[in-house]
């Protein structure tokens, strides 16, 4: 059952992966314009806002959290110690997590230790095929499919 207070799509990402964030934002643009989703990433934080509080409030209102996972994401102290634990805690209150492997190794002996936090959650795309490994036309189709999955939740 969804918590009616949770209405947002929240995107967590490493600032080193901002190009990937921009791709997701482009995919969601029509849904945002047409009020099919209420989208939030940290670019919503304005000068003078308390950024830590802003991120916390956004997570509190999140229905679907999209985690753009890469080695950069997994080595970010803030993401791994603040954002991800808070997102995981909110699952019991109706938040759905869709984590997306962007690039790197996500299975086998070379799996980063930081990924253990997400081990029990099914990834949004096969972990054997991170987005960066897809040809352009497959990437676009995959991103559109992810957008449709978010609309369902």
User: How does the average pLDDT of the chain come out, rounded?
Assistant: 89
Does a structural domain hold residue 1? Answer: no
In this prediction, residue 112 carries a pLDDT of 79
Number of domains in the chain: 1
**Is residue 76 within 8 Å of residue 14, measured between CB atoms?**
yes
Does a structural domain hold residue 116? Answer: yes
Task: Provide the domain limits for residue 107.
Answer: 8-152
CATH number of the domain to which 142 belongs: 3.40.50.10140
The mean pLDDT of 26-39, rounded to a whole number, is 88
CA distances from 26 to 69, 92, 97, 140 (A): 18, 30, 20, 11
96-101 vs 62-69, strand pairing mode: parallel
pLDDT digits (tens, 9 = 90+) for 47-70: 888 888 889 999 999 999 999 999
Whether the per-residue pLDDT at 76 is higher than 90: the answer is yes
How large is the C-alpha radius of gyration of the chain?
Answer: 15
């Amino acid at each position: 059952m969804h918590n009616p207070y949770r209405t947002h799509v929240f995107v967590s990402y490493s600032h080193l992966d901002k190009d990937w964030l921009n791709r997701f934002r482009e995919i969601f643009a029509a849904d945002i314009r047409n009020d099919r989703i209420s989208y939030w990433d940290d670019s919503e934080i304005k000068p003078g806002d308390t950024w830590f509080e802003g991120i916390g409030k956004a997570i509190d209102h999140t229905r679907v959290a999209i985690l753009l996972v890469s080695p950069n994401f997994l080595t970010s102290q803030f993401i791994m110690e603040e954002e991800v634990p808070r997102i995981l805690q909110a699952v019991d209150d109706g938040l759905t997590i869709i984590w997306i492997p962007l690039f790197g190794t996500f299975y086998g002996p070379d799996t980063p230790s930081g990924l253990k936090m997400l081990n029990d959650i099914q990834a949004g795309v096969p972990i054997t095929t991170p987005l960066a490994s897809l040809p352009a036309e497959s990437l676009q189709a995959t991103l559109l499919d992810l957008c449709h999955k978010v609309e369902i939740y």
